[in-house]
Amino acid sequence: MAFTMFGRTIRKIGVIGSGNIGPDIALHFSQNLYAYGVPVVVVDIVQAALEAGSKKAESKMAKAAEKKIFKKEVADAIFKNMLFTTDYGKIADADFVIEAAFEREDVKHKIFDQCQTSCPKTAIFASNSSHMEPEVIFQKMNDKSRCLVIHYFYPAERNILVEIVPGKDTDPALTEYLMKFYEFLGKAPIKVKSRYGYAVDPIFEGLFEATALTVEKGLATVKQADAIVQKALGMGVGPFTAHNLAGGNPITQHGLNEMHTKIMPWYRSPKILDDQVKSGKPWETAARGEVVEYTPETYEAVSNRVIGAYFGMICEIVGSGISNIGDLELAMDVGLVLKTPFAMMNKMGVKRALELVESYAKENSGFKVDEILIKQAASGQPWKIPVVFREDKAEVAIVKIRRPKVLNALNADVFEQLREVFTGIQKDPKIKGALLTGFGTRAFVSGADIGMLAAQKTPEEAEAFCLKSMAILNLIENLGKPVVCAMNGLAFGGGNEMAMSCTARIATKGQKVFVSQPEPRLGIIPGNGGTQRLPRLIGMENAWPLLRNANSISSAQAKELGLIQEEVEGDLIGAAMDWVKKILSGAVHVPGIKKDPIATPSKLPDVDIGHLSRKIDALVQRAVLEGAKMTLEEGLKLEAKIFGECLLTRDMKIGIENFLKNGPKVNAAFVHN
């Protein structure tokens, strides 16, 4: 068996190094590729390291089975798909080899020299280096076009961030393949240009340096600085605690000293870090549950300096051109799991952010204030943080919504960026069609951000809110160019409503939970066309229960009902591109959505709404039945008006508050009023 997708086949994966991260990288591969029959082989020259790595992987899968993340038989199969061995011959036929050994140039050169001698000429060679440029790692390789850095983050099987770092000789097609491959495996890959430390480690290690310097200057103790920075940046643990957990002191010491000459002079290993590495001891941080005391003045002194350093480092990276605002915002959010920098700057004001950076630079020799921050502050405008991305492939524009932490949920930024992107597509004479998709494999769009819905205060405000977002869906529907929706995962609420505004819909095959209009669970009705487009697409009898009982259907059921045109195994984006081309050529005709009134059967199916609000159900029925007698344009306006009326009910407040407090699995106690 093999994994064949995106124009390449992988039959075996090799991971070299069974230290801290190698077994976790191997485990992630096995979790995602065992079902394709792709074995994962971990090679190390130290038997004890292999035994430790094997036990670690086995333990993690046992815990995953206990927590019901995987069924026991699946967890066992994932572990058995992995081989830990000292025999390099076991990866001689590997199609993909990733090295996770010591961060030493001579070690990496020796490993890859052996690999290029024994592995297939088409094999991908990657290093999980955290700092070294690909040009350095692969300088002795005969064929550098198949070599690059793939930097994972701890813990590698769960942290979704990976940096894809091609060298100057890396084949761009390989980079593109790996971006698709890792997204398919559930990761959030970002492409970073080659530079020492790449994009993320200069922030991780730089935050440590900035925090350590506040201790050196006597502004706080290690415990205090650790707790203050954790709070100020919303981190899971403070910088000192993180280094204790990962054993990162020596790596950070070396990295900071290299960055001193390769990035900017401010980077350097602080004396307290040098002393700590020499002692081999962990930092003295707070014990679990321990409350660390500090004054408001201490908090301000430490947090202002570290936040100033954070903003300055981030802007230096964007200014250098190795990464961009959208990718860095994503990396900080899902990789380092801290408050995202550009959103923080927008919240406090970019001018205030510049003041913090300039103040930090004045106090710290060699710290750069990048021109992009100076210009942005002078503009008086907030940073634009992209969450909707457009990529043109010949005459087709690929539009992707990327908000993985909230399963691509819709908010005001998404709607506004979709409006900008699709207006641009409409006006672009080179573009003949488009496809719309979501990031990852779990969701196309999981719905609308509940906070955005909860923010509506009056019926009139809610009606206007619906009409504004409906205008973007109407733009997509009436673009004048075909738009195929590639539904890469579930589509709930606004996600399904957005998909229905497209010319055609295709979906990843085998989704058991795929489409739902769950609004009645929140004490509201659909507000982006669900009550109007769904009956027109699949018929009133089929739409009636879906709009009232809030239950989900599978992708197979969606295909049977005619909601989607195809279930796709394999490359969904490739299939969507084919659909756009077939529609453009006339090889396929997809009937447009009915714009005129539609007939309502004399008898509609009985629907058991269970615990759901009878008051809201009456509003849903009214929107569907009255809207059917109208044109689509009139029906959409009616839906928006009735959505506004939900604010007059007690059940909307109950439903929204229940969701925000308890999540989607706890039923709201509606009072039907």
pLDDT for 165-187, tens place per residue? 999 999 999 999 999 999 999 99
Q: Give the model's pLDDT for residue 66.
A: 95
> Taking all residues of the chain, what is their mean pLDDT, rounded to a whole number?
96
3-state secondary structure of 383: coil
Region 619-636: what's the mean pLDDT? Answer: 98
pLDDT for 236-288, tens place per residue? 999 999 999 878 899 999 999 999 999 999 999 999 999 999 999 999 999 98
pLDDT band at 207 (very low <50, low <70, confident <90, very high): very high
pLDDT for 380-408, tens place per residue? 999 999 999 999 999 999 999 999 999 99
Q: List the chain domain ranges.
A: 3-191, 201-379, 388-662
From start to end of 62-103, where are the E strands? 82-85, 96-99
Q: Which residues contact 30 (CB under 8 A, 6 or more apart)?
A: 40, 78, 79, 81, 82
pLDDT for 329-372, tens place per residue? 999 999 999 999 999 999 999 999 999 999 999 999 999 999 99
Kindly tell me if the per-residue pLDDT of 219 is higher than 90: yes
Kindly tell me if the per-residue pLDDT of 78 is higher than 90: yes
Region 418-425: what's the mean pLDDT? Answer: 98
Residue keyed to tokens 């310097």: 213
Looking at the annotation, which residues are catalytic?
497, 519
- Contact status, residue 144 vs residue 138, Cβ threshold 8 Å: yes
pLDDT for 424-476, tens place per residue? 999 999 999 999 999 999 999 999 988 888 888 999 999 999 999 999 999 99
HSE-up of residue 123 (Cα within 13 Å, Cβ side) = 26
CATH of domain 201-379: 1.10.1040.50
Kindly tell me if the per-residue pLDDT of 616 is higher than 90: yes
Superfamily of domain 388-662: 2-enoyl-CoA Hydratase; Chain A, domain 1 (3.90.226.10)
Annotate 324-378 with DSSP letters as a single string.
Answer: -HHHHHHIIIIII-S--HHHHHHHH-HHHHHHHHHHHHHHSTT----HHHHHHHH
Kindly tell me if the per-residue pLDDT of 313 is higher than 90: yes
Region 2-13: what's the mean pLDDT? Answer: 96
- Contact status, residue 347 vs residue 324, Cβ threshold 8 Å: no
pTM for this model (two decimals): 0.94
Q: Give the model's pLDDT for residue 454.
A: 84
Architecture of domain 3-191: 3-Layer(aba) Sandwich (3.40)
Does this chain's domain 3-191 share its CATH topology with 388-662? no
